[in-house]
Amino acid sequence: MISPWFAKVHERTCTPVNATTTMLAATAIIVFFTSLGILSNLLSISTLFIFMLVTIGLIVRRYYVSATTVYWGSSDGWIGLVVSNSIWFLSTLALWLGVPQAKKPRVWGVPLVLWLPSLSVAINLFLLGSINKASFERFGIWIGILLIYYILIGLHASYDSDMESKTTAG
């Protein structure tokens, strides 16, 4: 989705020097002109968001059944906390007891799958609640920019690459 120039690997160090140097320069420019508080909040949002995606991906990979979806809800206040924790526990228990695993590990698997990932999502949502509104707005703008880039450039590059591999293979 980006120029092949970034993929060039240095012969001696075997590292993508162009990509590393470009990211270093871009990061340095952003860091020089942005306060530490803003940077730390954006880093927290990004990290927690990625943690949630990974844990949800683990659940989906292990328990996904085609053509089904689950809708989650949340409430405010301590009553909402009790209700949401009860819903979390009961829904996790229901999934654990009622939905067969689509892919069972043959030798070794992550212990307590479904409980640990779902608890991780709950903790990440709790931690995301402590980050201020302005950080979420910045994060949303950044995600919007990346989405526009993907729609305008990356989607076509992915499609073209897929078509090229199909014509080469077949």
In sequence order, what are the residues at sequence separation of 6 or more whose Cβ sits closer than 8 angstroms to the Cβ of residue 53?
none
Q: Give 161's pLDDT tier (boundaries 50, 70, 90).
A: low
| pLDDT-above-70 percentage for the chain | 85
CA dist 17 and 27 (Å) reads 15
Average pLDDT over residues 86-113: 81
Tell me: pLDDT of 25 over 90: yes
DSSP-based three-state secondary structure for 103: coil
Per-residue confidence band for 67, with pLDDT thresholds at 50, 70 and 90: low
- 23/3: higher pLDDT: 23
- The alpha-helical segments, DSSP class H, found in the chain are 17-32, 36-63, 77-98, 115-128, 133-149, 155-169
The sign one gets for the Cα dihedral 46, 51, 53, 54 is positive
Most confident range (mean pLDDT) of 22-31, 94-103, 114-123 is 22-31
Calculate mean pLDDT across residues 138-154: 86
At 53, the amino acid letter reads: L
Give CA torsion, residues 19, 49, 159, 146, to 10 deg: -60
pLDDT of residue 72: 45
- Max distance between CA atoms of the chain, in angstroms, equals 61
Specify the pLDDT at position 96.
82
Instruction: Kindly indicate the confidence band of residue 70, based on its pLDDT and cuts at 50, 70 and 90.
Output: very low
Domain ranges of the chain: 1-33, 35-131, 132-170
